[in-house]
Structure formats: structure tokens, C-alpha cells
Amino acid sequence: TDQSKIRNFSIIAHIDHGKSTLSDRLIEQCHAVTERQMESQLLDNMDLEKERGITIKARAVRLEYQAQDGETYHLNLIDTPGHVDFNYEVSRSLAACEGAVLVVDSTQGVEAQTLANTYLALEHDLEILPVFNKIDLPAANPQKAKEEVEAIIGLPAMEAPEISAKMGVNIPAVLEDIVQNVPAPTGDPNAPLKALVFDSQYDPYVGVIVYFRVMEGTLKKGMNVKMMASGASYQVLDCGYLRPLGMDSCPELTAGEVGWFTASIKNVKDTRVGDTITGVESPAAEALPGYRPAQAMVYCGIYTQDGSKYPDLRDALEKLQLNDASLSFEPESSIALGFGFRCGFLGMLHMEIIQERLEREFDLDLVTTLPSVIYEVDKTDGTTVKVDNPHNYPDPGLITEAREPYAKVSIIAPPDYVGNIMPMCQDRRGIFKDMQYLDTNLVELHYSMPLGEIIYDFFDALKARTKGYASLDYELEGYQPSQLVKVDLLLNGDQVDALSFIAHKDKAYGRARKICEKLKENIPRQLFEVPIQAAIGGKIIARETVKAMRKDVLAKCYGGDITRKKKLLEKQKEGKKKMRSLGTVQMPTEAFMAVLKLD
């Protein structure tokens, strides 16, 4: 294809401003699908994504648009995920584009993620085209929204299209804007191949489908290609363009184009997002910038409620991993929970998504342990161990130094919220670095913060304290020495391995007490008194007691037959409930899970 007729762009927006609706309209307008085929919001194609209203995996489509100048243009629309856990994927998708359409809801104006996403796009030098949506609503004030965009973001906006994505009003104006203002790609089609992987997907029939943008050179069917970071090489079996429904084959893709290739690749691990595809014959001298290996940030143990389902869990994890290179897992076992896996995730949302998919798509009932980061411990014998499971944390007497991961945190918010944000960061042991005004309406704060303090609910707490206006980004910075302790939980004197956790010494007591209280609430009375204790080393730091069952409760129930029947039925139900033996203590699995749930 003639480079001057290609436009590569993505759509960015604050949540609910109409990104998905506009994507659908653009696809429809280009007659890429008939109305009957037009399932709503084609680009968000996982059920979970629809429910949660987020886009997890980036996808792309190529649209053919006949412009007013009479020429046909190829518009590649690259969709981006919308959560901090997937920021790296977003950055690679944006790196594949020359422009971004910024959707602004005319009833709301500029909001938090309008800004955050704009900054991401500006970092990649994209041409940003504002579009003012929802003009069909009586409350719409596109003029005011335009003024906000000019004042806050500094983009010219007065001439920008005013549209209704929902009603299909003025959609061609958006397409014309893209054709006229997004720069055409450049890049020498005859140079050695350099193509950026921005997504990949496992398909049971053809293996991994790799989505890429050719930056330089040409990718041809039959060619031998090499992934520069992973080192894997393949012969391209098939390649082509992305269509809203399915894929079109073509013999080659040249500089500026966006497409896919297949090569019977068995695992997405070898085709990582951000990797550079080059030719084996005449390889590029250096890879494209910005590659970062996927890095698990959060770990937890995943077990099945029914121990015999362990092989099913392994199969399910393997299947999910085919499509998700950032999911890692290794077998582990627990006295309390049996056989399971220690799994690594990009963040808490990623973890929740995987847990939900295991339960829904694979019909598994799971028990999961408290999430944890990876700690580093120097031991007195001169060795260093990495600990991703609190149970394996060395005894205090064997430790010379313990370190925890820190992240470089950037928070962008309007200045009014700084007073809410700073105490939150301090409370989470954040070390203030600096604060910069990006604009009179916007500040950026930098902190160095323990990753363990970020992963739980920092993102949600931050949103709550800033009415959603703050955006968060973080990346791993390195390890810092820390005063860590491992807290063990004992039931009737027996340690329950699955409940151990590692915490900073100042936070250990509070958390220990909370877990003891939760255990007390959830453990049913036994025939004997059950002490619940939390201990550091051998020292008890918190204690609760579950009183023993009273004898008369056991003895009675021989009264009227109605109550007796009820009791019997209840007993039967009780018997069906799965009990878990924690040492000498019997506890329903559900109660155990309630304790493991964070709040």
C-alpha cells in the first residue's frame, strides 16, 4: 500500500466519554461490517471486558475509507487497554500510531483520564485530534468543553468535530480529520525489517497470531523472521490485515502498515509485546526502543476447593498462559490447602481477572491466598533468597538483611487534590521526590513507594480521594533494605501456613489483629476452646479465642417434630459443607476464604 494513504491512530478518552461507541461508528461508517454483523462494541471482545467496561487486550482493525478527495485511505485503528496494570501494553500500542483521536464528552469536559491519556499520547509524539461527543444530550456544551481543552491541555479545539457517536451524527467529520491531520507513516520499505509487536493472541488452529506495526522494511509470507528480544525465529506461514470480523491474507506488509502473521507458534511467551520482529537473512542492526520484559508484580497461591481438581487447575492455567505472557505460575503445596500454584500477575486487576476467568471459563472453585510481592533476603550463610511465598521466609535469626521492592510512582492530578494525596502516600511509606506544575490546572507528584503498599488498594483509594481525577503510573525501581517481619497465625497452637504474611514492622501488628478478629468471626465453635494467635518469631503479638461449644446445645433437639426436622435438615446441610482441617480445628472452606479476603 502507498504510505501516503495510510493513517495509524488510536482513540483515547476518559472512561464513558464514548471511545467504544465511536470505534463502532467508525467501523460502521467504513462499511467494514453490515449492520446485522455489528455486535455492539466489537473491539472489546472478551465478556469480562464488557462487564467491567475496560479493554484488557489491545486489538486493531483496518478500515477502508473513501475520503472527500476521492482517494481511498487505509485507517488502522489500534485499541488500547485502560488500566494502570496494563500501562506498558498501552505504551506499545501508542508507539504503533502517528495520531490519537481524543474523545471528550461535551456534557463533562476535560476529566482526569482525558489528561492522563493525552500525556501518554504526547509522550509518543502523537498528533492529537480532539472530538466533542454526546452533542445530542440537552446538557451538552461543546463550546465550553472546547475552551477547557484549549486552556487545560493547550490543544487547538475550536474547529474540532462536534459529534454524537450514539446517534451517528457527524462521524465523517472525524474520518476527514484523521485523513487530513494524522501524519502518514514514514519508513523505508527496502530497509532491513523492523516491526513492533503490540499484541498477540493464541488461536487453537493456527497458533499465536502476532499483531505488529511495520516501522521499516517489509514482512513477507514465507520469510524467516526473528524476535530480537526473545531470540525465537520462525518462518512466516501467513500474514495479512486485521478486519473487524476475521482476517484477510496478503503476500506482504511494508513500512507503515499494521497487520498480523502466524507461524505455528505454540506460546505467546515467544512473541512478547514490545519485541521487534526482524529478518533472519538481513537483520536490523538494533531493536526498536522501549522493550520491557513483562514483570510480575503481585503473587498469590491459587488452590482448588476440591483437592482432586488440581490437574484441572493446571490445565486451565496452561490454557490461559498461552494467551497471556505476563501470567506466571509454579506448583506449590500448603499443609492447609493441599496442592496448588504460586501465580504471578502484573497487578491486582490482572490477578482478579485471572481468578475470575478460572472460575467462570473453567468452572473451578478456588481458594486463593493473600497477595504478596517478592522480597529479597540475605542470609547469615552468605546466600540470598527471593521470597514470593511468605511461608518460605527465613527465620529472623538467619537474616542479615531483608529488602523489599520499591516503585517509582507518578501521580497527575489537579492541584486542589494535593492535600488529599500527600498524606495517603506518606501513610503508605512513600518517599516524596518532587512536584511539578504541568500547567496551572495540573500537578505531577513523584514518590518512591514500596510496591507492597501500592498493590492492594492504592489505585482505588487514590481515585476515591480525588473524585477520579488523579491518574497513577508506576514502575519497579529496585530493592531497598527494609524492616520486614513475617507474621505466623496459629490455631490451637498449630501454625496455618497459608495465613502467614510478610509486612513492614510498623504495619504488622495492625494487620495481625485484623486477621485474628476475622478468624474469630469465621471459625465455628468446636468441642474445645480454640486460641487464635499471631506471632513474630516465637513472640505472640495478638490473640483471640473461640469459646468451646456448650454441652446442652449438643444434647437437646428431641422436642416437637417440626423443629427437630428443621434441625436435621440443617445438620445435613452442614455435613455437605466442605470442611477444612487446620491442625485440630475444623473450618468450612468458605469461612477460610472470608479470612483470606482483603478489605
Q: How far is the CB of 112 from ligand GDP (least distance, A)?
A: 13
Nearer to ligand GDP, 10 or 133 (CB): 133
Contact 14, 102 (CB under 8 A): no
Nearer to Mg ion, 33 or 424 (CB): 33
Cα end-to-end distance, the chain, whole Å:
54
Question: Pairing mode, if any, of strands 207-216 and 276-279?
Answer: unpaired
Q: How far is the CB of 44 from Mg ion (least distance, A)?
A: 6
Which cell numbers in the block locate residue 296?
510480575
Nearest to 272 by CA among 244, 299, 291, 286: 291
φ and ψ of 272, to 5 deg? -65, 145
Nearest to 101 by CA among 9, 28, 235: 9
Q: Is 164 exposed, middle or buried (0-12, 13-18, 19+ CB in 10 A)?
A: buried
Rounded CA separation 339/292 (Å): 32
Q: How far is the CB of 176 from ligand GDP (least distance, A)?
A: 18
Residues 17-36 that bind ligand GDP (CB under 6 A): 17-21
Nearer to ligand GDP, 15 or 399 (CB): 15
**CA-CA-CA-CA dihedral for 96, 88, 346, 431, to nearest 10:** 180
Give CA 383 to chain center in angstroms: 34
3-state secondary structure 543-569: EEEECCCCHHHHHCCCCCHHHHHHHHH
Q: Name residue 190's amino acid.
A: N
Nearer to Mg ion, 103 or 209 (CB): 103
17 binds, among Mg ion, ligand GDP, none (CB under 5 to 8 A by kind): ligand GDP
For 23, the enclosing helix (H) or strand (E) is helix 19-29
Question: Should residue 16 be labelled a site residue for ligand GDP when binding is judged by CB under 6 A?
Answer: yes
Question: Should residue 114 be labelled a site residue for ligand GDP when binding is judged by CB under 6 A?
Answer: no
Binding mask 216-245 for Mg ion (x = CB under 5 A): ------------------------------
Residues 43-82 that bind ligand GDP (CB under 6 A): 53
Give the contacts of 8 (CB within 8 A, at least 6 positions apart): 76, 78, 96, 97, 98, 99, 182, 185, 213, 256, 258
Nearer to Mg ion, 18 or 414 (CB): 18
Which cell numbers in the block locate residue 518?
476475622
Nearer to ligand GDP, 102 or 443 (CB): 102
Residues 479-518 that bind ligand GDP (CB under 6 A): none
Residue 76's beta-bridge partner residues? 8, 62
Nearer to ligand GDP, 116 or 535 (CB): 116
Rounded CA separation 78/94 (Å): 8
Rounded CA separation 288/275 (Å): 8
Contact 528, 552 (CB under 8 A): no
429 binds, among ligand GDP, Mg ion, none (CB under 5 to 8 A by kind): none
Q: How far is the CB of 144 from Mg ion (least distance, A)?
A: 24
Residues 166-205 that bind ligand GDP (CB under 6 A): 166
The size of the interface with ligand GDP (CB under 6 A), counted in residues, is: 16
Angle between the N-to-C axes of helices 418-427 and 458-465, in degrees from 0 to 180, rounded to the nearest 10: 150
134 binds, among Mg ion, ligand GDP, none (CB under 5 to 8 A by kind): ligand GDP
Rounded CA separation 331/305 (Å): 16
Nearer to Mg ion, 13 or 407 (CB): 13
Which cell numbers in the block locate residue 560?
416437637
Rounded CA separation 525/52 (Å): 39
Rounded CA separation 61/245 (Å): 9
Residue nearest to Mg ion (CB): 20
Return the number of other C-beta atoms located less than 10 Å from residue 598's C-beta. Answer: 10
Nearer to ligand GDP, 52 or 465 (CB): 52
Which cell numbers in the block locate residue 202?
493464541
137 binds, among ligand GDP, Mg ion, none (CB under 5 to 8 A by kind): ligand GDP
Residues 14-33 that bind Mg ion (CB under 5 A): 19-20
Q: How far is the CB of 15 from ligand GDP (least distance, A)?
A: 5
Q: Name residue 449's amino acid.
A: M
Nearer to Mg ion, 20 or 466 (CB): 20
Q: How far is the CB of 61 from ligand GDP (least distance, A)?
A: 15
Question: Should residue 133 be labelled a site residue for Mg ion when binding is judged by CB under 5 A?
Answer: no
Nearer to ligand GDP, 33 or 232 (CB): 33
Q: How far is the CB of 162 from ligand GDP (least distance, A)?
A: 10
Residue 542's beta-bridge partner residues? 534
Q: Out of 91, 93, 164, 466, which residue is the one contacting ligand GDP (CB under 6 A)?
A: 164
Nearer to ligand GDP, 107 or 267 (CB): 107
Q: Name residue 177's amino acid.
A: D
Side-chain half-sphere exposure of 69, counting CA atoms within 13 A: 9
Question: Should residue 165 be labelled a site residue for ligand GDP when binding is judged by CB under 6 A?
Answer: yes
Residues 129-158 that bind ligand GDP (CB under 6 A): 133-134, 136-137
Question: Should residue 372 be labelled a site residue for ligand GDP when binding is judged by CB under 6 A?
Answer: no
519 binds, among ligand GDP, Mg ion, none (CB under 5 to 8 A by kind): none
164 binds, among Mg ion, ligand GDP, none (CB under 5 to 8 A by kind): ligand GDP
Which residues of this protein are in contact with Mg ion, per CB under 5 A?
A: 19-20
Point out which residues bind ligand GDP (CB under 6 A).
Answer: 13, 15-21, 53, 133-134, 136-137, 164-166
